[in-house]
Amino acid sequence: MSALTLALAGCSTSDVPASLAGNPFVEEWNTPYQTPPFSKIKLEHYEPAIDYAIELNRKEVEAIINNPEPATFENTIVAMEQAGQLLGRVTGVFFVLNGSCTSDEMQQIALNITPKLTELSNDISLNPELFARVKAVYDQRESLDLDVEDRQLLENSYKGFARSGALLEGEAKELYRQYTSELSQLTLTFGQNALAATNAFSLNITDEAKVAELPDFVKEGMAAEAAARGQEGWTLTLHAPSYVPFMTYSTQRDLKEQLYRAYNSRAVGGESDNMENIRRIAELRLNIANLLGYSCYADYVLEDRMAESTPTVQGFLNELLDATFSYAKKDVDAIAAYAKSLGMNEKFMPWDWAYYSEKYKEEKYAINDEQIKPYLQLESAKDAVFMLANRLYGLTFTEAPEIEVYHPEATVYEVKDHTGEVLAILYLDFFPRESKNQGAWMTEFRGTKVVNGVEQRPLISLVMNFTKPTATTPSLLTFDEFTTFLHEFGHGLHGILARGKYESINGTSVKRDFVELPSQIMEFWATEKEYLDLWAKHYQTGESMPAELVEKIIAAKNYLAAYYNVRQLSFGMLDLAYHTITSPIEGDIRDFELKAIAPTQVTPIVDGMAMSPAFTHVFSGGYATGYYGYKWAEVLAADAFSYFEEEGIFSQEVAGKFRYELLEKGGHEHPMTLYVNFRGHKPQTQALIDNMNLK
CA distance 540 to 333: 39
- Which helix or strand (DSSP H or E) is residue 275 part of? helix 275-291
What span, in angstroms and rounded, lies between the C-alpha atoms of 498 and 462?
16
Between the alpha carbon of residue 304 and those of residues 159, 317, 337, 582, 684, the distances in Å are: 9, 18, 46, 20, 21
Q: Which residues contact 21 (CB under 8 A, 6 or more apart)?
A: none
Which of 106, 94, 47, 146 shows the shortest CA–CA distance to 668?
146
Is residue 247 a contact partner of residue 354, using CB atoms and an 8 Å limit? yes
Cβ atoms of 478 and 372 within 8 Å: the answer is yes
Determine the Cα–Cα distance for residues 242 and 316; give it in Å rounded to an integer. Answer: 35
Tell me which residue of 309, 379, 350, 316 sits closest to 684, measured CA to CA.
316
CA distances from 623 to 68, 164, 358 (A): 41, 18, 31
Widest distance between CA atoms in the chain: 83
Residue 263 in contact with residue 274, Cβ under 8 Å?
A: no
**What are 414's strand-pairing partners?**
398, 425
* Distance from C-alpha of 469 to C-alpha of 455, rounded to nearest angstrom: 39
Stretch (H or E) spanning 688: helix 685-692
Rounded CA-CA distance 403/409 in Å is 14
Dist. CA 563–CA 328, nearest whole Å: 4
Consecutive H or E run containing 359: helix 350-365
CA angle, 376 as apex, 692 and 264 as ends, to 5°? 60
- CA–CA separation, 313 and 593 (whole Å): 19
319 an active-site residue?
no
CA atoms within 13 A on the CB side of 16: 23
| Catalytic, out of 60, 220, 358, 488 | 488
Residue 476 DSSP code? B
Residue by residue, DSSP assigns 195-221 as HHHHHH-EEEE--GGGTTTS-HHHHHH
Whole-angstrom Cα distance, residue 476 to residue 223?
17
List the alpha helices (DSSP H) in 470-516. Answer: 479-496
Sign of CA dihedral 12, 18, 23, 25: negative
**Distance in angstroms (rounded) separating the CA atoms of residues 309 and 303:** 5
d(CA 47, CA 8): 18
Q: Residue 15 class from Cβ within 10 Å (0-12 exposed, 13-18 middle, 19+ buried)? A: middle
Q: How many CB atoms lie within 10 A of CB 158?
A: 19
- Alpha helices of 500-627 — where are they, by DSSP H? 517-520, 529-532, 547-555, 561-579, 589-597, 616-619
Catalytic residues: 488
